[in-house]
Amino acid sequence: MSQKVALVTGGTGGLGTAICHSLADAGFRVVAGYNSGGNHDKAKAWQEEQRKAGYEILVAYGDVTSEESCKACIKSVEEMTGSSVSVLINNAGITRDGQFKKMSWEQWDEVMSANLDSMFHMTRLVINPMVDNGWGRIINISSVNAQKGQFGQCNYSAAKAGIHGFTKALAQEVARKGVTVNTVSPGYIKTAMVAKIAEEVQEKICSGIPVGRFGTPEEIGRVCSFLADEQSAYITGADLSINGGLHMS
């Protein structure tokens, strides 16, 4: 049987790399979508690093804020693999933190485009082939800060909360077609995104996490491959929290 293709947007980043590894370990043909400001050499270097670590992962350029670029990305995935995408992980995302009273329209708009509009563009391009094939997995990466809100993140919390609304609506539309749609909501995970937060703010946040530490990217990757599994067919429209107890709903 040929391998199913899994595309991870933001696949060369901190969370993305762990998600790619977990899906590859689970037997998927993995493609890491990347933007990297158009730095293709950086993506090639990442790919080489993965190869040395024993992972054959394809890379595909795509700016998730642009419909045209997403189209080109999906086309290149189909050309490289000879198959349509069976698993899409909408993982690409950015922060532009700041108190709302000082937030610019650009800070709002950039976060909405990268974190929410991106889901429209990418999912729109893969959903019909999934429905036609009678099998698919859409996994949308949200955040604990969608669930609880976060000082300094009106833009990010709004976009990430929008993600789960999208998940629940689409899950209903494709449930009978063998396609599941779920949200994964990580808490504070050891990635470059969290490292950007001022040290003293990080310490304060960490002290409020019942488990007593930030999460690891691997802890998120594991949940993504669990949802992508053949046997997870009855889980749809769910929001899985992996946050060390920071928020319990």
DSSP state of 184: E
Q: Tell me if 66 sits within 8 A of 121, measured CB to CB.
A: yes
Which residue reads 């024993």 in tokens?
54
Report, in Å, the least distance between residue 213 CB and ligand CAA: 14
* Between 186 and 244, CB nearer to ligand CAA: 186
Report, in Å, the least distance between residue 64 CB and ligand CAA: 17
Is 188 noted as a catalytic residue in this protein? no
Contacts of 181 (CB under 8 A, 6+ apart): 138, 140, 167, 170, 171, 174, 236, 237
Q: Tell me if 224 sits within 8 A of 89, measured CB to CB.
A: yes
Report, in Å, the least distance between residue 119 CB and ligand CAA: 15
How close are the terminal C-alpha atoms of the chain, in Å?
40
Strand residues in 57-199 grouped as ranges (E): 58-61, 85-90, 136-141, 179-186
* Between 95 and 183, CB nearer to ligand CAA: 95
Instruction: Give the H/E segment covering residue 165.
Output: helix 154-174
User: Where does this chain bind ligand CAA (CB under 6 A)?
Assistant: 95, 97-99, 143-145, 150-153, 156, 186-188, 193-194, 197-198, 201, 205
Q: Tell me if 214 sits within 8 A of 144, measured CB to CB.
A: no
* Between 45 and 201, CB nearer to ligand CAA: 201
What residue is closest to ligand CAA based on CB?
A: 152
* Catalytic residue, candidates 34, 61, 156, 188: 156
* Between 102 and 176, CB nearer to ligand CAA: 102
Report, in Å, the least distance between residue 151 CB and ligand CAA: 3
Active site residues per annotation: 156
